[in-house]
């Protein structure tokens, strides 16, 4: 892969870190305070819990990592590639190829079936499709089964499913095609505590099988126990 061979020239390690953030800051506008983010390095395959109360820029941080917002200063290297050095189109493709995302809610395209929602990344990325090693539909079905979605729901409109099921389908979509990084933005905030722990266990177990790094953001500190690393967000300066 291009991104890795590039980075090995710069980095002494064998494999580049999944996420490497340095001196990152962001500003919404001239009148707004500048948000400063902590430096972090997450080795490939390890998981990070990012804790931060509301208003500390969690979603902004994820937007910067996903390459959907441009930073005011600093650098983000994902898998050794500085994504903000890429053009807009290449950034979109990088996201399609290497990242899975799970939102807080409204995770699914309402007019697609559960299965079609899961296979969506394979239709946007050749790399993800090739990585499934089989037909995307079959891969999606195995994931859905592993995430305990009843088979009768696979071809149903996602709007008919429960929130817990919708979040698990979103997890399946993030996992399909084994992307290197999964960004999860409070995916458990709408779930009860039993479902929440089960969801995190399932997600992390399946991510480990794929050597995928999960960056999990939440305001709920009790979830931190599931993760290798944890980090606090919250320094806001003018």
In whole angstroms, the minimum distance from the beta carbon of 66 to another protein comes to 5
Alpha carbon distance 34, 48 (integer Å): 24
**From 63, 146, 226, 228, residue interacting with another protein (rule: CB under 8 A):** 63
97 forms part of the interface with another protein (CB under 8 A): yes
For 26-63, give the DSSP string: EESSTTSPEEE---EEE-TT--EEEE--TTSSHHHHHH
Q: Is 92 in the site for another protein (CB under 8 A)?
A: yes
The size of the interface with another protein (CB under 8 A), counted in residues, is: 38
Q: Quick check: 76 and 21 in contact, CB under 8 A?
A: yes
DSSP 135: -
Quick note: the x/- pattern for another protein over 175-214, rule CB under 8 A, is --------x-x-----------------------------
CB of 11 to another protein, least distance (A): 25
Cβ atoms within 10 Å, residue 232: 13
Residue 68, SS3? coil
Of 104 and 195, which CB lies nearer to another protein in the complex structure? 104
- Out of 89, 151, 194, 238, name the contact with another protein by CB under 8 A: 89
Q: Which of 38, 44, 49 is nearest to 11 (CA)?
A: 44
Residue (111 or 192) nearer to another protein, CB = 111
In the shown chain, the binding pattern of residues 121 to 150 toward another protein, with x for contact by CB under 8 A and - for none, equals x-xxxx------------------------
CB count, 10 Å around CB of 20? 21
Would you count residue 166 as binding another protein (CB under 8 A)? no
Taking CB under 8 A as the criterion, the residue among 6, 25, 84, 103 binding another protein is 103
Task: Tell which one of 27, 75, 112, 190 touches another protein (CB under 8 A).
Answer: 112
Taking the CA atoms of residue 31, residue 83, residue 229 and residue 187 in that order, the dihedral angle to the nearest 10 degrees is 70
CA–CA distance from 120 to each of 3, 109, 112, 140, 169 (Å)? Answer: 23, 9, 10, 10, 12
**DSSP state letter for 192:** -
Of residues 36, 120, 175, 207, which one binds another protein by CB under 8 A?
A: 120
**Contact set with another protein (CB under 8 A):** 59-60, 62-63, 65-66, 68-69, 88-89, 92-97, 99, 101, 103-112, 116, 120-121, 123-126, 173, 183, 185
């Amino acid at each position: 892969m291009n991104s890795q061979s590039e980075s090995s020239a710069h980095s002494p390690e064998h494999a580049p870190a999944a996420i490497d953030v340095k001196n990152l800051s962001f500003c919404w506008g001239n009148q707004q305070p500048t948000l400063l983010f902590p430096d972090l390095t997450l080795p490939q395959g390890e998981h990070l819990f990012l804790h931060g109360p509301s208003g500390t820029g969690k979603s902004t941080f994820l937007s910067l990592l996903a390459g959907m917002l441009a930073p005011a200063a600093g650098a983000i290297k994902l898998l050794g590639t500085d994504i903000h050095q890429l053009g807009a189109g290449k950034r979109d493709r990088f996201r399609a190829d290497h990242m899975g995302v799970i939102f807080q809610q409204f995770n699914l395209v309402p007019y697609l079936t559960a299965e079609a929602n899961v296979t969506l990344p394979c239709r946007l990325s050749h790399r993800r499709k090739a990585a499934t090693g089989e037909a995307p539909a079959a891969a999606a079905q195995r994931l859905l089964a592993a995430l305990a979605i009843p088979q009768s729901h696979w071809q149903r409109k996602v709007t008919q499913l429960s929130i817990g099921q919708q979040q698990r389908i979103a997890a399946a979509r993030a996992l399909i095609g084994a992307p290197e990084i999964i960004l999860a933005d409070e995916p458990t905030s709408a779930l009860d505590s039993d479902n929440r722990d089960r969801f995190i266990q399932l997600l992390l177990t399946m991510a480990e099988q794929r050597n995928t790094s999960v960056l999990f953001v939440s305001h709920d500190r009790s979830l931190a126990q599931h993760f290798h690393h944890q980090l606090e967000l919250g320094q806001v300066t003018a």
